[in-house]
Amino acid sequence: AQSVTQLDSHVSVSEGTPVLLRCNYSSSYSPSLFWYVQHPNKGLQLLLKYTSAATLVKGINGFEAEFKKSETSFHLTKPSAHMSDAAEYFCVVSAANYGGSQGNLIFGKGTKLSVKP
Amino acid sequence: DSGVTQTPKHLITATGQRVTLRCSPRSGDLSVYWYQQSLDQGLQFLIHYYNGEERAKGNILERFSAQQFPDLHSELNLSSLELGDSALYFCASSVRTGANTGELFFGEGSRLTVL
């Protein structure tokens, strides 16, 4: 079965320093992978998605992620953190490629990003 | 603002009761998805409707049911509520049926507290 593992439940960085949020996936097929962000008391918003095109995916707000099949990873990065980046980030795999129900997104446990001034 | 509207935002009720959560998708979106977010289970897919028809079921309890109406809004009905049903319930919508073909637009959720 497909799954995602977010390696850190909490990451703390200083404003202006790089951000790295780690995600590993498990899949027998080429997966569709996503990163979603959830700000406090808000719904989830798509940051970026990988669907077997370019392995380096650029998203909103300066975030990007690189799909590495050999490492089964899809880490999220940003060169310089901003205070407004403080939120919870979810790595997500779609079950739709595996005969699973379309729309069935499998979420990681989330990584809470704190940004210190 | 995602364009997905959920009501109520907060709901407090007692065990054994029944509640209905409502979702209005973005204009033009035919697919509606329901997700549950709890501290112990994280975010879990419950059910998916497309243009009024059920398309997929996830980890949805038999005490829970949903429907999508002709105007495309959806309702999630939770009955015989238990303490463990306390969670944030999200609705999401998309134009098409496949999550991997496009993004899902999430509402801000309905927070249910069962006392």
Stretches in chain A below the pLDDT threshold 70: 96-103
Measured between alpha carbons, how far is A82 from A80 in angstroms, rounded to an integer?
7
Amino acid in the structure at residue A22:
R
Which phi and psi (to 5°) does residue A112 adopt?
A: -90, 120
| Contact between chains at A104 and B94 (C-beta distance less than 8 A) | no
Residue to substitute from A5, A101, A106, A109, interface B, most B β-carbons within 10 A? A101
Q: Strands B5-7 and B53-57, how do they pair? A: unpaired
pLDDT at B99 over 70: no
Nearest to B108 among A42, A49, A97 (CB): A42
* Mean pLDDT score, B101-106: 78
pLDDT in tens, B31-46: 999 999 998 889 999 9
**High-pLDDT (> 70) share of chain B, %:** 94
Measured between alpha carbons, how far is A2 from A9 in angstroms, rounded to an integer?
20
Name the residue with tokens 């799909």.
Answer: A67
Buried residues in A32-51 as b, exposed as e (16+ CB within 10 A): bbbbbbbeeebbbbbbbbbb
The predicted structure's pLDDT at residue B34: 95
Q: Strands A111-116 and A10-14, how do they pair? A: parallel
Dihedral-angle region of residue B72 (phi above 0 means left; psi in -120 to 50 means alpha; beta otherwise): left
Calculate how close chain A gets to B54, using CA atoms only, in Å.
11
Dihedral-angle region of residue A16 (phi above 0 means left; psi in -120 to 50 means alpha; beta otherwise): left
| Contact between chains at B100 and A45 (C-beta distance less than 8 A) | no
Residue of B nearest to A101 (CA): B56
* A107–chain B Cβ distance below 8 A for any pair: yes
